[in-house]
Every structure is written in structure tokens, then in C-alpha cells.
Amino acid sequence: MRLLIALGGNAIKQAHERGTAEEQFRNCMVTTRLVAEIVRRMKPEDRLVITHGNGPQAGNLLVQQEMGKEKVPPQSMDVVGAMTQGQIGYMLQQTLTNYMKDMGISVPVCEVVNQVLVSKDDPEFFGEVASKPVGNFFTEEEAEELKREHPEYIVKKVKPVGERAWRRTVPSPAPIANVESEAIRRMVDAGIIVIASGGGGIPVILDEHGHYQGVEAVIDKDLAGEKLAEVVEANVFLVLTDVEKVNLDYGQPAERPIDRMTLAEARRYLEEGHFLPGSMGPKVEACIRFLEWGGEKAIITSLENIERALAGETGTWIVP
């Protein structure tokens, strides 16, 4: 088994939490204790690669850039992405290693600060398309003020109701290639548990000299995770989020869970709009691409069901 696990935001920070270091370490421990159990049962030839979201951490760090800008120069969004990869990678690395030490397992774990190539011609970079909300919620007045201060920002109403319904949005371009793919592949082949493409990777474009350059954007972590799965030739793609199964007719009276769907069914349901854009949509899309590429199975489930889902007892399985 070559397993790629994509960890959702709640694996590191719960929605109701403020995001203190203690809280995040505690959540990472819940996650990595379960991951360590998977490692315990792996055969010597098995491989594990982990990717993770960074939404809440990058959001908090962006607020710090804004609030502290009179004293310390704010860093650009690509740099903030790199900082959160380091932060979350550190927490996962340390807690997973500690659990494995307790189990007498000595497999090296290593976070890779990881760039992902996007196209500067991606439609998300033009006009007001930018679809990924980041940072704080604002009132209409605050939103207008933010726009005056940063005319280059795109600020959108992202909730139909409520006073604080406005947010800055940034482009969410499609991932094209993982820049550190060769390094990652060699590490994985050598038996290292690699953590990579955190937060969807640091988005970079190629400039006119063919050089990489960071951009203000956020790549969807599930779509980037799928690219990583191809790089490491994973055969199982496991997406861990906050629901045990994917539902049809989500949020409607006829809502019902899916145990298993074929690639063709997944494509049809996606087209019919059963999976919301920006949340379940890209997860199912990533699973579809994984199977199209040649993956054996993709599973979407919640963290606590990781073992049962791998055993075929729960989760939504997507198969060719």
C-alpha cells in the first residue's frame, strides 16, 4: 500500500477554537495517534505521505500581518503559506514521532516546504473571479474601508445573511505540478514519511525567464493533494474531513449517505451539484482525478473513522 492522507482543517484547529499553540498541539495529537496506528500496521514496503490544510492558521497569520504592520513589515501571502507549512509540519512531525517512539517504531518523518506551480493565465487571476475567501469576516462598512486601503484587494459578500458577511477573496488557481516532486519521490522511496503540499502548496508561477515566483493565491489542498498522490504513485487516496460519509442531496430532506460510488457515478453526482463548491466539491473532484490517473481507490471519511474506512467498514469509497 502506498497511502496518501489529506488532513482537513479540523485535524489541526477546531472551528470553535481560537488557535492557541496548545490547542493545535492537542488536535495534532488526536490526529497523529490514529496515524501512528496505521504506521504500526504497515508492511516494510508500504509507504505513507501526508498533506494538510492551513486555512485557519494562514487566516490568523494574515490578521497578524495586518495588525502588526506599523511595527513589522507584513509578509506576502506566499511567504505566509510557507510559514504555516513550517508550523503545521513541525506539530505533525513532533507528535507523530512521539507516538511512534512510544510504539518502538523508528521511521523518519519529514515536512517539506513545498511549492506548487500554477498558470499565470489561470482564469482565477482575472477580473473579480478570485473565489477563495481568506482571513477575517467584515461588515459592509469595514469591507469598504479595506477596499479603500487596498484597492488591489477583491472583497466579496460570502454569506447571504448576517452583518459580518464580507471577506477578502484571492485566486484559487488549478495546481499544475509539484515543484519539489523529485525530492519528495526520493524521500518516499527511501521509506521516509513525508508531509508535503501543506495548504495546497505555496503557489508559484513561471516568469518570463522560466524562474519560479510566488503569487498571492491559495490552491485547494485536496486538488493539490491529488497531484502529490500522482508524484508518489499512491494507490490509495484517503481524504479526512469532518463527515463520515459524503451525502447525496446534501442539506435537503432526501439527504442520504453514499457508501460506494464508481468513477462514472461520482462524475454524474458532481455534475448534478450534490457536492458544494469549495468544500466537498473539490474533494470528490480530486478523487475522480486520482482514479482517472490510475489510482485504485479513493476514500472520504472523518478522522476518527480512519481505520474502519481503510478496512472497508465505513466512509465513502470511490472506485474505478
Which are the catalytic amino acids? 9-10, 132, 221, 283
Q: How far apart are CA 2 and CA 237, in angstroms?
A: 9
Per-residue interface string for the shown chain with ligand ADP, residues 39-78, x marking contact by CB under 6 A:
--------------x-------------------------
Q: How far is the CB of 300 from ligand ADP (least distance, A)?
A: 8
Member of 77, 246, 309, 310 binding ligand ADP (CB under 6 A): 246
For 49, residues 6+ apart whose C-beta sits below 8 A from its C-beta are 2, 3, 4, 5, 184, 188, 193, 194, 195, 196, 228, 229, 232, 234
Q: Which residue intervals of 46-165 are DSSP H helices?
A: 55-67, 77-103, 140-149
Site for ligand ADP contains 304 (CB under 6 A): no
Give the type of residue at 110.
Answer: C
Question: In the sheet where 132-138 sits, what is the strand order?
Answer: 132-138, 166-170, 154-157
Site for ligand ADP contains 276 (CB under 6 A): yes
Cβ atoms of residues 90 and 111 within 8 Å: yes
C-alpha distances out from residue 128 to 32, 170, 253, Å:
39, 9, 34
Site for ligand ADP contains 295 (CB under 6 A): no
User: Nearest CA to 194 among 79, 93, 58, 300?
Assistant: 93
Site for ligand ADP contains 242 (CB under 6 A): yes
Member of 31, 57, 85, 241 binding ligand ADP (CB under 6 A): 241
DSSP single-letter state for residue 250: T
Site for ligand ADP contains 275 (CB under 6 A): yes
C-alpha cell recorded at residue 207:
516568469
φ and ψ of 205, to 5 deg: -115, 170
Binding segment for ligand ADP (CB under 6 A), chosen from 8-16, 141-149, 156-164, 306-314, is 8-16
**Which helix (H) or strand (E) covers residue 224, if one does?**
helix 221-231
Site for ligand ADP contains 8 (CB under 6 A): yes
Task: Name the residue with the smallest CB distance to ligand ADP.
Answer: 8
Total site size for ligand ADP, rule CB under 6 A: 15
Member of 3, 9, 62, 122 binding ligand ADP (CB under 6 A): 9
Q: How far apart are CA 53 and CA 70, in angstroms?
A: 29
Cβ atoms of residues 74 and 66 within 8 Å: yes
For 288, residues 6+ apart whose C-beta sits below 8 A from its C-beta are 263, 266, 267, 270, 318
Site for ligand ADP contains 31 (CB under 6 A): no
Comparing CB distances to ligand ADP, the nearer of 119 and 269 is 269
Site for ligand ADP contains 198 (CB under 6 A): no
Member of 154, 279, 296, 319 binding ligand ADP (CB under 6 A): 279
Q: How far is the CB of 120 from ligand ADP (least distance, A)?
A: 26
Site for ligand ADP contains 96 (CB under 6 A): no
Binding segment for ligand ADP (CB under 6 A), chosen from 5-13, 38-46, 178-186, 208-216, is 5-13
Site for ligand ADP in 132-161 (CB under 6 A): none
Q: How far apart are CA 159 and CA 301, in angstroms?
A: 26
- Contacts with ligand ADP by CB under 6 A lie at 8-10, 53, 241-243, 246-247, 250, 274-276, 279-280
